[in-house]
Each structure stands twice: as structure tokens, then as C-alpha cells.
Amino acid sequence: MIEPEKKIITWYNKVRLLMSAYNDHYKIIYLFLTNQKINAESIVQGRKDLFIVSHDQLEEYITTTFFKRSLIFSDIDGGKDEYDDE
């Protein structure tokens, strides 16, 4: 397993332990959102309460134009938008 996957599993184990007091009263779902390309299937296998949204899903669901623009927004006009002058 490569580094990003290890980090996600470590995060999941820690947050799950922190939330353990609520498991008796609530159905807890853990969502990990990342812009990295990862093999999410290998991580979520056996973890029914973990959902991972990664680079590929962001690009597919948000559309390529918006996705690419959001990554480079800070490079356009020095990161300013139309409201910065107000």
C-alpha cells in the first residue's frame, strides 16, 4: 500500500476511536475527501462506514472545466476575484 492509503487508514482508525462514544446512538459515516489519485477500493473494502472521494470522482462529478479551474484559481489574476476591490 502506498503512502496516501496508509494516511487514510490511520485517519480512519483515529477518528473512529474518537467517535466510538456515539456509535451506540447514531449511525456514523466517515467521509474522506482528497484531490490525490488513490486506490480507494482497497481501503474501503471491509469498512462499510467509510466513503472516499478522490481526484477521479471530483473530476467526473464536478466537470473537468470547473475542477481544473478550482485547482488554478489562485493563479488567475493573482488569486483575486471581483469582490476583492469592494
Q: Which helix (H) or strand (E) holds 52?
A: strand 50-53
In this prediction, residue 42 has a pLDDT band, given cuts at 50, 70 and 90, of confident
What string of DSSP letters covers 18-49?
HTGGGTTTS---EEEE-SS---HHHHHTT-TT
Question: Which residue matches cell numbers 482497497?
Answer: 42
In this prediction, residue 71 has a pLDDT band, given cuts at 50, 70 and 90, of low
pTM tops 0.85: no
Give the pLDDT of residue 5. Answer: 85
In this prediction, residue 29 has a pLDDT band, given cuts at 50, 70 and 90, of very high
Digit-coded pLDDT (tens) for 72-85: 544 445 555 444 44
Backbone angles phi, psi at 36, to 5 degrees: -85, 155
Give the pLDDT of residue 22. Answer: 93
